[in-house]
Chain A
Amino acid sequence: MLAYAARRIALMIPTLLGVALITFFMLRVVPGDIVEVKMRSDGGYVTQELLASERARLGLDRPLVTQFGDWMQGLVTLDLGTSMWTGRPVAEEIGVRIGLTVQVALMAAVIAVLIAVPLGTISALFRDTWIDYVARIFTIAGLAVPSFWLGMLIILGLLTVFHWSPPVTYTPFFESPLKNISQLIWPALAVGYRYAAVVARMVRSSIIEVMKEDYIRTARAKGVFERMVVARHAMRNALLPAITVIGLEFAFLIGGLVVTEQVFNLNGIGRLFVEAVSRSDFILVQALVMLLAVVFVSMNLIVDMLYGVLDPRVRHG
């Protein structure tokens, strides 16, 4: 098991290196760079010398290979460089925001699983009845409704009913957990809906598959109560594929947050990313892409390891 984990972690390195290479060179193939964006945005005339000196200050005049080497060296020592726009260390920019994003993502994941597992199971057990149809309409709609619009609808609803609007600054969790959760539950719901829909569909189809298995018939033949058959025999097996979806969708959830944070005025990683992109702050963009890639690759790893723990058939020797 440990050897397997070590091998998998070692295999993450070439993937992450690939992500780094693609991101780094993609961001630099196009001539227009941040220096021009930054200086020309004022509308004034900028001399070539000034542009050149600013490039030199940011280290953009060095050969690309050297820049890449430096960046890699920085990544390994967790020095992510300095934001080209604000001039503050990237690690600091990420550090002050990451807590909020992670909290909303985790809350959304919990909400999604709490909704999806019972919904998918009921939908499968009552297949082709009106209960199933209602559940399926709910899940198909979840794939179609954009999370940012759902967020806006939630705000609209809260405004109309409770005269509540998203606060300008959010209360930190450790200051007042209750207040914090009552503020963050809404963005979590907005991004969690799609997540719940995807997971519920997976749970439904895998329960339908499992219910056809011989061991379910055996359990019923033995006279096991139907509730027990579902809880002990069907659910435990059906949740394995669901775990894959839960894990992989988590990375995509963060993608959903990129847009939804904007709606709720959340100053998180997603918002930082959008700002970095619109200001062509390449140092910040590439650091954030690496962060998201690490999250994604780690989620993959965790899912695979969990599989080994939960399913003896795929125990990794």
Chain B
Amino acid sequence: MSASTRDGPVMAWRRRNPVLGFIMAQPLGAAGLVVILVMAAAAIFANVVAPYDPEAIDFLAMLSPPSMEHPLGADAFGRDILTRIIYGARTALTIGFLSSFLGCTIGGLLGVTSAYFGGRVDLILQRFVDIVLSFPIIVLALVVVAVVGHRPIMGIDLNLIAAISIPIMPRAARVIRSAALAVRAMPYVDAARAGGYTHSHIILRHMAPNVLAPYLILLTAYIAQAILLEASLSFLGLGVSEPKPAWGLMLSGDSSNFYQEAPWMILFPGLAISLAVFAFNLFGDSLRDWLDPKFRT
């Protein structure tokens, strides 16, 4: 079949150079990765790349359309939109990555633990997961916001990271558990138990490394979800708060009063959100196909 002839050279590349192999097998995923890397670079070097100070108010530039001075226009305070989008990438990627990382790591460990012990522990944990899964993601996130408040804790958006990572946990736990069940049946786990290792040693050293592939897939997929969720919460006024630049926040409040006068205030931040989520989805899907051919659709 055509698949095998295509797989031949790809497999060879995969062995020789995994990065090039990935680009050849998954061109769309590679494109997603490029977008992610560009955004990450812009976020890290925001103070070098961005033409203005993100919080600098300039009443002369108020609502000015895209021009040479302000490539994407300026908002109701005359703040440069391109600058705020670049700094917004910093907010989105930091919160997106940290939330997804925390959610997938804690959820993943719960999943591995659940699979390792099996029996009653598994039953209780999975019932708990079932219950938490009956909250839609944004609803649970809002409940957490109601608990921890919508003000940053000690200057960091820890409240927001908690609100986003908690709904991710049960979802990650469910997926990682099913992967870990297969690992649990491996002879080396029994060997480790016979060798007298502690439960935590077996879970962390023997089982967790073997569910790394689904973990990485989840981590990427949930960064996309987390960015979307951060934007939604910020849009509702329950996430990042002014004057800190965040894409969702740029779409809330003032921008909706200027639909006709300044449509650029609405267009560009939304494009930024969509592009980031799109890139992570594309990369995540390709990573899944690349790491786990079983799931290929």
A102 to chain B, nearest CB (A): 15
- Interface hit among A80-88, A173-181, A272-280: A272-280
Query: When chains A and B are docked, how far (Å) is the Cα of A245 from the Cα of B137?
Result: 16
Decide if B297 touches A254 in the complex (CB within 8 Å): no
Q: A22, A32, A148: which contacts B235 (Cβ < 8 A)?
A: A148
Query: When chains A and B are docked, how far (Å) is the Cα of A278 from the Cα of B148?
Result: 11
Decide if A262 touches B235 in the complex (CB within 8 Å): yes
- By a CB distance below 8 angstroms, the chain B residues around A238 are none
A146-B232, A277-B142 are contacts. A19–B131 as well, Cβ < 8 Å?
A: yes
User: For the complex, is A109 an interface residue (Cβ under 8 Å from B)?
Assistant: no
Decide if A285 touches B146 in the complex (CB within 8 Å): yes
User: For the complex, is B66 an interface residue (Cβ under 8 Å from A)?
Assistant: no
Decide if B149 touches A32 in the complex (CB within 8 Å): yes
A204 to chain B, nearest CB (A): 9
Name which residue of chain B comes closest to A32, CB basis.
Answer: B149
Cβ < 8 Å to A, chain B residues 238-297: 238, 248, 251, 256, 259-260, 263, 266-267, 270, 273-275, 277-278, 281-282, 297
Query: When chains A and B are docked, how far (Å) is the Cα of A43 from the Cα of B176?
Result: 48
Decide if A258 touches B231 in the complex (CB within 8 Å): no
Decide if A153 touches B142 in the complex (CB within 8 Å): no
Query: When chains A and B are docked, how far (Å) is the Cα of A6 from the Cα of B136?
Result: 25
Query: When chains A and B are docked, how far (Å) is the Cα of A145 from the Cα of B139?
Result: 19
Cβ < 8 Å to B, chain A residues 257-284: 258-259, 262-263, 273-274, 276-278, 280, 282
Decide if B228 touches A146 in the complex (CB within 8 Å): yes
Name which residue of chain B comes closest to A206, CB basis.
Answer: B297
- By a CB distance below 8 angstroms, the chain A residues around B199 are none
Decide if A259 touches B232 in the complex (CB within 8 Å): yes
Q: B134, B256, B259: which contacts A15 (Cβ < 8 A)?
A: B134
Decide if A293 touches B232 in the complex (CB within 8 Å): no
Decide if B147 touches A22 in the complex (CB within 8 Å): no
Decide if A141 touches B274 in the complex (CB within 8 Å): yes
A144-B278, A146-B228 are contacts. A296–B134 as well, Cβ < 8 Å?
A: yes
Among A32, A148, A156, max chain B CB count under 10 A is at A148
Query: When chains A and B are docked, how far (Å) is the Cα of A280 from the Cα of B148?
Result: 10
User: For the complex, is B11 an interface residue (Cβ under 8 Å from A)?
Assistant: no
Decide if B273 touches A149 in the complex (CB within 8 Å): yes
A15-B131, A15-B134, A152-B270 are contacts. A277–B260 as well, Cβ < 8 Å?
A: no
A30-B147, A205-B297, A262-B236 are contacts. A153–B137 as well, Cβ < 8 Å?
A: no
Among B136, B137, B260, B277, max chain A CB count under 10 A is at B136
- By a CB distance below 8 angstroms, the chain A residues around B135 are 19, 289, 292-293, 296
Query: When chains A and B are docked, how far (Å) is the Cα of A15 from the Cα of B126?
Result: 12
A144-B278, A292-B139, A293-B135 are contacts. A280–B146 as well, Cβ < 8 Å?
A: yes
Q: B127, B256, B259, B273: which contacts A146 (Cβ < 8 A)?
A: B273
Query: Interface residues of A: mostly helix, strand, loop or mixed?
Result: helix
- By a CB distance below 8 angstroms, the chain B residues around A30 are 147-149
Decide if A18 touches B131 in the complex (CB within 8 Å): yes
Name which residue of chain B comes closest to A285, CB basis.
Answer: B146
A144-B281, A259-B235 are contacts. A23–B136 as well, Cβ < 8 Å?
A: no
Name which residue of chain B comes closest to A254, CB basis.
Answer: B136
Name which residue of chain B comes closest to A284, CB basis.
Answer: B146
User: For the complex, is B78 an interface residue (Cβ under 8 Å from A)?
Assistant: no
B92 to chain A, nearest CB (A): 12
Decide if B150 touches A278 in the complex (CB within 8 Å): yes
- By a CB distance below 8 angstroms, the chain B residues around A254 are 136
User: For the complex, is A143 an interface residue (Cβ under 8 Å from B)?
Assistant: yes
A140-B278, A296-B134 are contacts. A159–B260 as well, Cβ < 8 Å?
A: yes
Name which residue of chain A comes closest to B270, CB basis.
Answer: A149
0 or 1 for each of B142-162: is its CB under 8 Å from A? (1 = yes): 111111111000000000000
A50 to chain B, nearest CB (A): 22
- By a CB distance below 8 angstroms, the chain A residues around B248 are 146
0 or 1 for each of A30-47: is its CB under 8 Å from B? (1 = yes): 101000000000000000
Query: When chains A and B are docked, how far (Å) is the Cα of A140 from the Cα of B280?
Result: 11
Q: Which residues from chain A sit less than 8 Å from chain B, CB to CB?
A: 14-15, 18-19, 22-23, 26-27, 29-30, 32, 140-141, 143-146, 148-149, 152-153, 155-156, 159-160, 165, 205, 208, 251-252, 254-256, 258-259, 262-263, 273-274, 276-278, 280, 282, 285, 289, 292-293, 296-297
Between A and B, 21 residue pairs with Cβ closer than 8 Å are A15-B130, A15-B134, A18-B127, A22-B132, A23-B143, A29-B147, A146-B273, A146-B274, A152-B270, A153-B270, A159-B260, A208-B297, A251-B136, A259-B235, A262-B235, A274-B238, A277-B143, A277-B146, A285-B146, A292-B135, A296-B135
